[in-house]
Structure 1
Amino acid sequence: MQHFSTIFWPLIFLLGLCLGSFLNVVITRLPVILMRQWRQEARAQLALTEEPSPRFNLAQPRSMCPRCEYSIAWHDNLPLIGWLKRRGRCAHCNARISLQYPLIELAGGILAISIALLYGISWQALWLYGACLTLLALAVIDWRVQLLPDILTLPLLWAGLIYQWLFQPAFLADAVIGAVVGYMSLWSFYWLFKLTTGKEGMGFGDFKLLAALGAWLGWLSLPLVVLFSAGLGAILGLAYQASSPQARGTPMPFGPFLALAGWMMLLAGNDILAVYLNIVS
């Protein structure tokens, strides 16, 4: 047992690094896949001929340098190690490789360790880890291209409801209410803001993401999620505009802050909610 305990945590961390590496593929390729799909659908609606394009999905083509498109060798593609070995540069053209890649891999490993410490090795832990990875992917995609894909938000919502049904059936009603309230609250804010200012304050993906968080956390946690995410967004937005005056007026995605608040509540929600209820009661 002692030998198993010695290798257990490194194995969990290594598995998290590998899943973080796959998450990088999802983050970088999924928006491109969706854009190509929407373009083809638009051409079909306009009765235009289909554009020929090489196969592009999560598996093909092989990982390559974003600048010179040189295929990355397997040993340079090892999670975290490959980036460190090449000091964050392409082995072929010496272009810088984004810091995003090792950071996402490291986040995958840290999340795996955190959830294993909180829940042990269990089906419940596996579901929660999947939710955390999905939130991480959504946060980075939204930050990069201001898009919260339905292909991630809607399964996350249904997974939250199924999770409650499987592991906390007494909490299922709160989760259903949380999904409805989460969607309707931001939907109402969107239309109130648009009718008042004539501008769109957020995207429909934000409604679906908060609905998904409501399904995982229940309706009582939603005020805290909105408070944390709005507070973080305001602080970082003001700091960003102060450091880059030319960025003033540039829209800032809300999804990353919703995701960060969701992580906080998923990993430490009971303690945070207890403190919150003590304050308001």
Structure 2
Amino acid sequence: MAELPLWAWIAAAAVLGLLVGSFLNVVILRLPERMTAMWRQEARDVLELDAEEAPLPPGIVREPSHCPHCKHPLSAMDNIPLFGWLLLRGRCRYCKTPISIQYPLVELLSGVLSAIIVWKFGPTWPALAGLVFTWMLIALSGIDFRTQYLPDQLTYPFLWIGLLLSLLPMFVLPTSAILGAAIGYLSLWSVYWLFKLLTGKEGMGYGDFKLLAALGAWMGPTALLPVILLSSLVGALLGGGLILLRKHQREVPMPFGPFIAVAGWFWFVAGDWLLQSYLQITGLR
């Protein structure tokens, strides 16, 4: 079998990304609802209250895809990533309710970013790890954007995968991975408590600490400062833009996790280039 050219691998990654993006939509929508229902159930058990008769929300894997409004199961044609939404013109085939633009956006984002990862690393094991890195960040960003949750069910595996990959090593050595995870967590933890002591308010959640710790485990401690600076810049630009457009009220909290994820992915892919460009511009190299 002749070796495939790079463009073929990139195209395959894009198609795989579209398919995985469809699954990521399920994770983004169903995992928080499932978590909330289980928390409520556990709380009733602790308080020794009668269990709720309502069934748990659909799981991530077993229950087939269906319209959130009319609950009608979707056909295979409706489930085609990106193109299914276009063919349906953004409306449910059965009840004609508008389908959220989130579905095609997540699928398209997953496809494009997956293709970029393979273009960056080629058909290698680091590319496979990079795809997992990308898909995790998309799922976490989507959940945080919708619910302001960064669930432990995703942040902890993300962290442990980064630590385990350092044993190979793949991106960083074990020492760098451990230091990156510890410094990443403690840096935002310190900012959280300093802000809370000064203002009496919570500026971010513990999920943000865990997400930055996971990025530190994947990329080492040297990536943390650029990621924090980039995420602050992205947050200021997007947050300021939304406030100016009056699509987001000043007093309403804005999730910080998606900004950390965007900065982390960008540094993962282009960090070396950005650092070299900075050194050349400043004359430090």
Same fold (TM over 0.5): yes
Aligned to 1:182: 184
Query: What is residue 38 of structure 2 aligned with on the other side?
Result: 37
- Asked if structure 1 preserves the Cα contact closer than 8 Å seen for 2:159 and 2:214, the reply is yes
Indicate the residue corresponding to 1:131 in structure 2: 133
SS at match of 1:76: coil
In proportion to residue count, which structure has more helix?
1
Counterparts of 1:119-268 in structure 2, within 5 Å, are 119-168=121-170, 171-244=173-246, 247-268=249-270
What whole-Å deviation, never above 9, does each CA across 1:185-212 have from its counterpart, x for those lacking one? 1000000000000000000000000111
Unaligned runs of 5+ in 1: none
Identity, % of aligned pairs? 48
- The 3 A distance-change label for structure 1 pair 133 and 245 is closer
Q: 2:273 aligns with which of 263, 271, 275?
A: 271
Give the direction of change, closer, same or farther, for the CA distance of 1:191–1:9 in structure 2 (3 Å limit): closer
- Determine which of 82, 88, 91 is the counterpart of 1:89: 91
Structure 2 unaligned residues grouped into runs of 5+: none
Report the TM-score when normalising by structure 2: 0.92
How many equivalent residue pairs? 281
- Partner residue in 2 for 1:73: 75
* 1:23 alignment partner, SS class: helix
Partner Cα distance (1:248, 1:114) in 2: 35
Following superposition, which runs of at least 4 residues in structure 1 exceed 6 angstroms of deviation? none
Taking structure 1 as reference, are residues 193 and 113 closer, same or farther at Cα in structure 2, changes over 3 Å only? same
Q: Deviations over 1:216-270 (max 9, x none)?
A: 1111111110001011111211211121177121100000000000110111122
Of 98, 101, 107, which residue of structure 2 is paired with 1:99? 101
Give the Cα–Cα distance (whole angstroms) in 2 for the partners of residues 280 and 141 of structure 1: 41
The letter of the residue matching 2:264 is: G
